[in-house]
Amino acid sequence: MADEVVLLDFWPSMFGMRVRIALAEKGIKYEYKEEDLKNKSPLLLQMNPIHKKIPVLIHNGKPVCESLIIVQYIDEVWKDKSPLLPSHPYQRAQARFWADFVDKKVYDVSRKLWTTKGEEKEAAKKEFFETYKILEGELGDKPYFGGETFGYVDLALVTFYSWFYAVETFGEFSIEAECPKIIAWAKRCLQKESVAKTLPDQKKVYEFVGQMRKRRWDSAWIQRLTVRTLTECRTTVDCIRDADIVFQPYSSFLLERPEVFRAVELSRLRIWIRSPRSWELLMGERTLRQLGGEALVPVDPPRLMTIEDYIPRAPSDSYVEGVEAYPDLIQAGHALPGVSSGEIERLENEILRLQLELSVSEDRHAADMDRVQGEMARMQMEATQRDGAMAQMQADLVQRQRDLDSRDAEVARFAAAVQRLEEQLQGMGITPVTGAGSSGFGQTSSTPPPDPVSRDWFFDDSPST
Ligand SMILES: N[C@@H](CCC(=O)N[C@@H](CS)C(=O)NCC(=O)O)C(=O)O
């Protein structure tokens, strides 16, 4: 049965490139699957549930993770062509040592170049060249690290060459000027088809790094990463079920404040998750790495859990425990005599928490004041409007009173005229039909005349009375 080989990868990854070169060297056909590391596929999460990283080689359905382990696996399984590791145990051990050195040093020193500034950046440059000088020493006058032929260490290191333009641009130096042997060696490696076809264009990698740097301050990006981290976390942490988690995103007004954004999102990178036991999970390290490791903080950051070890601890656990588990987090010279690093960490966190609380309270206070002032202004306006309406009503009343007075005067005039007419009629011996006294209409000045129409006229039957 033919081998089924699938590679989960991401194009700019120097780790993924190692596997691609090894497969090319061995002439193995495989299916390449590009991963979106911002939105990892269920397959990647299933195949590399521990680190959730590319590259992953899936050989006949079974995953192999970690680039150097994958390369060794490929070399062992397809051993008939282009051996990568030396056959002698001692030389094999040496090759493994140098590949491990590349993993432990080269990646970090490159990354520091675009994540630091000032003195730190100068120190990073120095470290970068020291590292490559050590490698140049190991290469000596050999064409390749392994000797006459391209091998395991060459493959482990040459993939970093595709990042050299980015490193030089952000580091503001020339690698060739300082380490000409390394450049000559890389160019030699590039003559191999397996390398030339695998390594992406250096400018393309540079653009990719530039985008990564820009995204660093984009809150939506970070928010998305943290949400994703949580989603992934749900698949790993047994004690927390989906329903238990309430993700508490930072309110938008907090995110709009650059200093809070920096402090919360980058320095501490803390996500609060409420679970029934009110545990707090810290996912700083993960988010930090997702950002390309560009966030630099004094103690960076106090991880109570990491991607390798998503173990939530109760908030009551001392920070010492978390920090001691990761001694490299504590900056040199940071410790004070007689004060444990955990204590400093705890105090720093407390200060940060209080600063945040203070800034939040200040904001709330300012917002409350604005609201109260707005309310008062509104009430004053309403009162002024009400005063105006009252004045208008009073004016209306006065006018209505005047109208009534003038109507009364008119009525009195009419009444006097009627009176005069009645008197004239009476003088002529005629009793007026309708009386209107001087006191107004409808009042009789004498008894009313008898009904001119007989009641009998209306009824056929004589009335009973
Ligand atoms: N030590 C690992 C490193 C692999 C690695 O860092 N992969 C990165 C891409 S270059 C990754 O998948 N990152 C995703 C993540 O950290 O979530 C190896 O050699 O394979």
440 or 163: whose pLDDT is higher? 163
Looking at CATH, the fold of the domain delimited by 1-84 is given as Glutaredoxin (3.40.30)
Is the pLDDT at 201 greater than 80? The verdict is yes
Please identify, by atom number, the ligand 1 atom nearest to the C-alpha of residue 54.
12
Average pLDDT over residues 13-31: 97
What pLDDT, in 10s, does the model give residues 401-432? 888 888 888 888 888 888 888 888 888 877 76
> Which has the closest alpha carbon to 153: 30, 21, 53?
21
Give the pLDDT band (50/70/90) at residue 239: very low
Of the residues 53, 54, 162, which should be mutated to test ligand 1's pocket, given the most ligand atoms within 8 Å of the CB?
53
pLDDT at res. 369: 81
Is the pLDDT at 238 greater than 90? The verdict is no
Structure tokens at 50: 């521990």
Q: What residues are paired with 273 via a beta bridge?
A: 247
Of the residues 7, 15, 104, which should be mutated to test ligand 1's pocket, given the most ligand atoms within 8 Å of the CB?
15
Is the pLDDT at 169 greater than 90? The verdict is no
What pLDDT, in 10s, does the model give residues 352-373? 556 555 655 665 676 678 778 8
To the nearest whole number, what is the mean pLDDT of the chain?
Answer: 71
Reported as type and span, the H/E element at residue 139 is helix 118-139
Is the pLDDT at 211 greater than 50? The verdict is yes
As to burial, measured by CB atoms within 10 angstroms (0-12 exposed, 13-18 middle, 19+ buried), residue 437 is middle
Q: Is 67 in the pocket of ligand 1 (CB under 6 A)?
A: yes
Q: Is 40 in the pocket of ligand 1 (CB under 6 A)?
A: no
Is the pLDDT at 460 greater than 80? The verdict is no
Is the pLDDT at 71 greater than 90? The verdict is yes
Of the residues 54, 225, 308, which should be mutated to test ligand 1's pocket, given the most ligand atoms within 8 Å of the CB?
54
Name the closest-CA residue to atom 11, ligand 1.
53
248 φψ region: left (φ > 0), alpha (ψ -120 to 50), beta (else): beta
Q: What is the dihedral of CA 265, 128, 207, 263, to 10 degrees?
A: 10
Q: Is 159 in the pocket of ligand 1 (CB under 6 A)?
A: no
Query: 180-194, 210-224, 296-310: which has the minimum mean pLDDT?
Result: 296-310
Percent of the chain with pLDDT over 70: 59
Please identify, by atom number, the ligand 1 atom nearest to the C-alpha of residue 289.
16
As to burial, measured by CB atoms within 10 angstroms (0-12 exposed, 13-18 middle, 19+ buried), residue 190 is middle
Cα of 16 vs centre of ligand 1, distance in Å, is: 8
Q: Where are the domains of the chain?
A: 1-84, 87-215, 233-334
Taking the domain 87-215, which CATH number applies? 1.20.1050.10
Is the pLDDT at 175 greater than 90? The verdict is yes
Rounded Cα–Cα distance for residues 340 and 343 (Å): 5
What pLDDT, in 10s, does the model give residues 131-166? 999 999 999 999 999 999 999 999 999 999 999 998
pLDDT at res. 349: 56
